[in-house]
Structure 1
């Protein structure tokens, strides 16, 4: 089980590490800004401080909650009703008020992990783009990109193999099969064009042309 703890109080981080390291693989961060979004999918539970400099817990939830398939426990200085409402609206599952007892937070963590039964949306992330392999949808941050089935499949293929260059013929046969009828060059060129048009509204282009060879996944601002 993998546990992520984010708190700018380094003494508290050390205490929580000692509390959980015998039972879980624990990753510690003293700033939410240091988080690599692509790594968020690996955690079974996240403990998140509400009040932090630069990026606080609420901003973290607003930015990344859709990428996380795990319970999130907020650490709050006081049990303000506003904190509870805002945190839960953004996707928090529970909160613990500071100061807290070690036995209390251990019990909360164990209980959430024990009863966790949400559907796991396996994601590939190249932030700010993510691909939900369960629902077959592509997102820019939290906004779904309206792709056709073939456009989605092209994006998934390229994103899964982002270090690989695909020829138009290879993309065509992978998506449509070897027995498909049609012009692979024209068909794939048109679909790549449509994909780029749909991402252009977010000022990014996720598909790089490798001249004379084919296409590769690479997100660039435009």
Structure 2
């Protein structure tokens, strides 16, 4: 199951997308315009379907605005078929085009193909919140600079980043990073996160937030 955001000014198109992708158990959020969408919420999605021709902010302008901070695939929905428009879209960071009118079979196939590719890529490299996680080397970099994390600090960051937007308790984080049989105290997670925040603050970044009374999440 993937979380998908579909933005189109045609309610019938949004309804078709929602019904179609729910057949593959995807959770679809729809919006008639990008103007009221908070950019920081976009990293909660695994894929974005974005109409090009919309009143107000069009798809090209919205993609250009958010592409540097959004890691998931962006697929344009468009009736524009001129080669120059396709070139513009890819230049702004689009991953693919789906031309209207499209069949439900094509929509499902293209969306699921991008989700599978994204899953394969994240076994090696994860891009989230302006950071690059090298999953093999167990390193985090920002603008090419390695952040000096300890093994446990890295483990906490990777676990939260791979599940960004989801809240975890200290106990869940400790068990995931250190193992169920580890000898230690889950309360040390708070200390590690304090140290992680201090290291990210050097780069003016604060990707881990506190859900008071519950735990922590990666924004």
Q: What does 1:1-222 correspond to in 2, within 5 Å? A: 1-23=2-24, 24-116=26-118, 117-118=120-121, 119-123=125-129, 132=131, 134=133, 136-137=141-142, 153-155=200-202, 159-160=206-207
Quote the RMSD (CA, aligned, Å): 2.9
CA distance in 2, matches of 1:49, 1:153: 35
Higher RCO (CA < 8 A, seq sep 6+)? 2
> What's the CA shift string for 1:154-190, capped at 9, x where partnerless?
3568735678xxxxxxxxxxxxxxxxxxxxxxxxxxx
> What's the CA shift string for 1:71-124, capped at 9, x where partnerless?
11111113111210000001111111111111111111111111224432232x
Q: 1:158 to 1:91 in 2, by over 3 A?
A: closer
> What's the CA shift string for 1:116-137, capped at 9, x where partnerless?
24432232xxxxxxx5374543
> With structure 2 as the length reference, what TM-score do the two structures score?
0.59
Q: 1:13 to 1:161 in 2, by over 3 A?
A: closer
Give unmatched runs, 5+ long, in structure 1: 124-130, 138-143, 164-222
| Structure 2 contact 200–206 (Cα < 8 Å) conserved | no
Secondary structure of the residue aligned to 1:51 is: coil
Name 1:170's counterpart in structure 2.
none
Secondary structure of the residue aligned to 2:89 is: helix
| Structure 2 contact 48–74 (Cα < 8 Å) conserved | yes
CA distance in 2, matches of 1:161, 1:5: 27
- Deviating runs (4+, > 6 A) in structure 1? none
Secondary structure of the residue aligned to 1:8 is: coil
Q: 1:161 to 1:70 in 2, by over 3 A?
A: closer
CA distance in 2, matches of 1:158, 1:16: 35
CA distance in 1, matches of 2:117, 2:206: 33
| Structure 1 contact 136–152 (Cα < 8 Å) conserved | no
CA positional deviation for 1:22: 3.3
CA positional deviation for 1:43: 1.3
> With structure 1 as the length reference, what TM-score do the two structures score?
0.59
Q: 1:162 to 1:107 in 2, by over 3 A?
A: closer
Name 1:178's counterpart in structure 2.
none
Q: 1:152 to 1:26 in 2, by over 3 A?
A: same
